[in-house]
Structure 1
Amino acid sequence: MDINYKTTLNVAHQIALAEQTKEHHLIIFSSATALYPFVGYSQYAPAKAAIKSLVAILRQELTNFRISCVYPGNFESEGFTVEQLTKPEITKLIEGPSDAIPCKQACDIIAKSLARGDDDVFTDFVGWMIMGMDLGLTAKKSRFVPLQWIFGVLSNILVVPFYMVGCSWYIRKWFRENDGKKAN
């Protein structure tokens, strides 16, 4: 929490104190795990979810600021390489289709999305889909928001219940096969 959340909170606080007569753009980085936390990310996902909540609040409080949040999926980095060495197999199984993309590609996607005016930015389709299923009360500003809402509603009705049953089954099976060993 100290690094992921409090650093973001402190920077946002200092920017909020800045001169209010100019337009400001605050870009905050969270993670796709903020939208869908799962086994193996117990130390990481809660802080990223807190950042997602912070962004929602800042958008309400700092009305003359443009507040963007980036929810990157997996991208190739030194940290990702190290993470793969210790990541439990069950986490890799649930993560499934979210392959790591080159860092430069992630940066290009983020820069283009922000330049287009998107304020909820994803580096992969999986992140975009998960945000569509997160039909919370936060304002969303990204491409195809109406399509994302429709996708979210249909997914929450037709896909998510079956997916969650499958995930629960895989998690219980993994713990049985590993004698209850910790997943992280």
Structure 2
Amino acid sequence: MGLTINGRLTVISGGSQGLGASLAKVFVREGGNVVIVARTEAKLKEKVKELEHDRQNEQQRIGYIAADVSKGQECDRVFKELGESPDIVICCAGGATPGLFVEKTTEELDHNMNIVYNTALHFSHAALKVMTKDREASSRERHLIYCSSVLAVFSFIGYSSYGPGKAAIRALADIVRQECIPYNIRVHNLLPGNIDTEGFELEERTKPEITRKIEGPSAPRDPDQVAQEIVRDLRRGKETIYTDFIGWVLGGLQLGISPRSWGVFQALVAILFALFTPIWTFIMNRDIKNFFRSKNGQ
């Protein structure tokens, strides 16, 4: 089965902006009950006002809960205040501040791991403690959706405080998917590329030039369009979802036990790409050496 939104309760962390806010908009327009979660109450209030314009009927629940979802106790509070077991949980909180690893402070590294990985870890943990106890709800299919990144399968210089956390989310999704089998909870993992959000604008401010060069001319995509495509793929029953072709290709290099997307073709493309990878790595390493020579004034 695929995703059913109408009349179902969806909770979205990171729902006040970016992809999370765009997903909230799609779910409300589809007749879903939506509660968004983020740290800043002012942003949440403003976003809920916007979502009210997309309301389909008076019975819809549209609300928010302010919480720091990088903390387990705060996540437990969210699902207690929710008052009922959710049908769909989306872990969409997080953000990137690119930079060279040795130039990061310990505090920055800890903070980034908190907002990238711990937000997904604790939010999904708190959600599942509630969802797995609701035996009555297990008669219908429910969904847990993680938001990882294409950097989880193909990381490179500049993303030392972001890529590892996203890779950890991918591993977490694979593990939790197995544990959710008895409870009729489908676990999905999104691996998006660049999306034109507030977070992406902040990301651009600290991105090293070498990171831009390796990344190439990857134009950020409209978040509303991406959200619609994600919902389309969820309805098709996909458990690993990419938002662009290059992400799908790169995902083939590290399939592991993650569910495939057009698996046979992805495996064939991965074989071809694996043959090209040593050449690409040679070129990348050469560019990195030149970057550091220029940076150090040599």
Two-structure CA RMSD over aligned residues (Å): 1.6
Tell me, what secondary structure is at the counterpart of 1:38?
coil
Q: How far apart, CA to CA, are the structure 1 residues paired with 2:252 and 2:201?
A: 29
**8 Å contact 1:34–1:46 — kept in the other structure?**
yes
Q: How far apart, CA to CA, are the structure 1 residues paired with 2:162 and 2:265?
A: 30
**8 Å contact 2:152–2:163 — kept in the other structure?**
yes
Q: How far apart, CA to CA, are the structure 2 residues paired with 1:20 and 1:159?
A: 50
**8 Å contact 1:98–1:126 — kept in the other structure?**
no
| Matching residue within 145, 161, 169 for 1:43 | 161
Tell me, what secondary structure is at the counterpart of 1:118?
coil
Using the TM superposition, give the Cα deviation of residue 37 of structure 1 relative to its aligned residue in structure 2, in angstroms: 1.0
Using the TM superposition, give the Cα deviation of residue 101 of structure 1 relative to its aligned residue in structure 2, in angstroms: 0.9
Using the TM superposition, give the Cα deviation of residue 134 of structure 1 relative to its aligned residue in structure 2, in angstroms: 1.2
Deviates most, 102-111 or 120-129: 102-111
Aligned to 2:282: 165
Cα 1:147–1:53 shift into 2, 3 Å: same
Provide, for residues 44-86 of structure 1, a one-character-per-residue CA deviation record: whole Å limited to 9, x for no partner: 1111111011011112222132100001100111221222122
**8 Å contact 1:135–1:152 — kept in the other structure?**
no
**8 Å contact 1:38–1:91 — kept in the other structure?**
yes
Tell me, what secondary structure is at the counterpart of 1:159?
helix
1:110-149 mapped onto 2 (5 Å cutoff): 110-136=230-256, 138-142=257-261, 144-149=262-267
Q: How far apart, CA to CA, are the structure 1 residues paired with 2:231 and 2:207?
A: 29
Tell me, what secondary structure is at the counterpart of 1:175?
helix
Q: Is 1:98–2:218 an aligned residue pair?
A: yes
Aligned to 1:72: 192
Q: How far apart, CA to CA, are the structure 2 residues paired with 1:130 and 1:10?
A: 28
Q: How far apart, CA to CA, are the structure 2 residues paired with 1:67 and 1:11?
A: 14
**What amino acid maps onto 1:140 in structure 2?**
P
Q: Is 1:29–2:147 an aligned residue pair?
A: yes
Tell me, what secondary structure is at the counterpart of 2:189?
strand
* Runs of 4+ with deviation above 6 angstroms: none
Aligned to 1:59: 177
Aligned length in residues: 177
Using the TM superposition, give the Cα deviation of residue 14 of structure 1 relative to its aligned residue in structure 2, in angstroms: 2.3
Q: How far apart, CA to CA, are the structure 2 residues paired with 1:42 and 1:163?
A: 20
Provide, for residues 134-162 of structure 1, a one-character-per-residue CA deviation record: whole Å limited to 9, x for no partner: 132x13142x1110011112211x21111
Using the TM superposition, give the Cα deviation of residue 97 of structure 1 relative to its aligned residue in structure 2, in angstroms: 4.0
**What amino acid maps onto 1:133 in structure 2?**
L
Larger Rg: 2
TM-score by length of 1: 0.89
TM-score by length of 2: 0.57
Tell me, what secondary structure is at the counterpart of 1:69?
strand
Provide, for residues 4-56 of structure 1, a one-character-per-residue CA deviation record: whole Å limited to 9, x for no partner: 21121122222322224513210110111111111111111111111011011
Consecutive unaligned residues of structure 2, counting only runs of 5 or more, are 1-112
Aligned to 1:3: 115
Q: Percent identity?
A: 40
Aligned to 1:83: 203
Q: How far apart, CA to CA, are the structure 2 residues paired with 1:170 and 1:20?
A: 56
